[in-house]
Structure 1
């Protein structure tokens, strides 16, 4: 049977996306490993599967490149939102994820005519048990130096609901990624702090209302962007007064997004706003052992070209911000 995969990305975070047919089983973890391998047309960071839902307009499942399943993916959710809203001919919908039913909507373009979507990021918790993380007898880690991790980085732990360790770092840790990779790798093998692993993000301000984030994702490694990590980083940055609450621009190696942080007492509402770019459509056959045999490819040249312009715009903004604010 011929099936279709779309190759999509949110902020350069790439995925294969497929709407599955009811009662036709496939081994999606194995398929994710095969399709995301770099030898397969440069691979991808994950596999997005859309299916029917009894709770929402559609259901999303997310498989990392290593076949593990993630509870949420903000960049992937925007791409799923575009697919579902286009199919339903609507501008708003709800998507069921592993831990929550989330609102999505189409919004004004973030850059030129790029398809842009706003998605809810929830639930949010600073409790270490929600990640989980074990560190002495602490219930939370908020903007704290952890000597066992690093002597010059302040860390915050938060789940949204994926587990994140956010470090506010000097610029040298952004310019050189080796330490971040070593630290994140140690947390995603057997260790005493994170039994289920953790996403590790390093954050440095660009200006008074924007930040740069680079993320090492569990199950993937370094990616151009991680939607929940960018949202978590914006939340942490606002909470510790690095940037104001409200609209925060978050730059990343793959472009930029807008994060909206609204706080009402103890309640926090988070929205992630950014592109949902479809740059290729593949038709072919999927074997039982997860091999996809492609018969035809359609490249969406206009979307590819326009996003490259956004990337260039983003890189200039980052360089300009750091050159103007060397003391940030």
Structure 2
């Protein structure tokens, strides 16, 4: 069987994307998905997404971590699959799609091939807050810890220790470390499923921005990650409820190809 695929990256968070409207790939084929994500024996990526048909929406997004298991929402993945749908001609400048965490809207800005995607995220509630740590679900669960700076900070070791502590070991959590850089944020993330630090995490920067909003009384942040720059805006209804959340940033086509399996 031959598989046509495209590779996209959003601020260094990279994904294999497959148009699965003909149901060529089984979402249950964990070993195949893991193989396609493998950086030595496959295409390579932090995750894989299937674009599928869905009534009353432009498409359905199905996201899998690099371990082959279907996962919770991925913000950078959401932006990349919108760019993929745009390049396939499924959408124009506005998209409406369904993902594991519910409905999403998106806007495409195409500046001579430089694609920027504005993705509306799900509303957030039930935020756990401490002096320098937060825990919230932005489509995926995120632990957020504020640190003084990122110089010499070991995101992998510190993130892994939290992800596998007594509270989170069974279900896992993503772990974000945030420092302030004037009015901007610097964010690094250890992602469950990938089980490593990634160049960027969309739901992670959303969680980090919302958490920073409680400390700085702001509702918009520019965010620097290892892989590039993102922006997040939101509306704080009260101390437990956030809505109108938008994640903004680039979604770049890297290459396309075919693979015989």
Fold similarity call, TM over 0.5 = yes
2:101 pairs with one of 99, 102, 110: 99
Higher helix residue share: 1
Q: 1:35, 1:158 → 2: CA distance?
A: 31
Number of aligned positions between the proteins:
256
Q: 1:49, 1:194 → 2: CA distance?
A: 28
Shift of 1:35: 2.0
- 2:243 corresponds to 1:255: no
Q: 1:194, 1:161 → 2: CA distance?
A: 19
> Could you say which residue in structure 2 is the equivalent of 1:3?
3
Task: Write out per-residue CA displacement over residues 153-201 of structure 1, whole angstroms, 9 at most, x where no aligned residue.
Answer: x211010120000111011xx22343x3233323444723453110001
Q: 2:153, 2:34 → 1: CA distance?
A: 25
Q: Which has the larger radius of gyration?
A: 1
Q: 1:21, 1:64 → 2: CA distance?
A: 20
Normalising to structure 2: TM-score of the pair?
0.89
Structure-to-structure mapping, 1:39-188, within 5 angstroms: 39-40=40-41, 43-86=44-87, 87-107=89-109, 114-127=114-127, 140=128, 142-144=129-131, 154-171=132-149, 174-178=150-154, 180-188=155-163
Q: Which structure has more RCO (C-alpha within 8 Å, separation ≥ 6)?
A: 2
User: Could you say if the C-alpha distance between residues 108 and 43 of structure 1 is closer, same or farther in structure 2, counting changes exceeding 3 Å?
Assistant: closer
Higher strand residue share: 2
> Could you say which residue in structure 2 is the equivalent of 1:319?
none
Structure 2: which 5+ runs fail to align?
Answer: none
Q: 2:125, 2:169 → 1: CA distance?
A: 16
> Could you say which residue in structure 2 is the equivalent of 1:297?
none
> Could you say which residue in structure 1 is the equivalent of 2:250?
275
Q: 2:115, 2:108 → 1: CA distance?
A: 8
For the 8 Å contact 1:121–1:271, the answer to whether it is kept is yes
Structure 1: which 5+ runs fail to align?
Answer: 128-139, 145-153, 288-328
Normalising to structure 1: TM-score of the pair?
0.72
Question: Aligned with 1:161: secondary structure?
Answer: coil
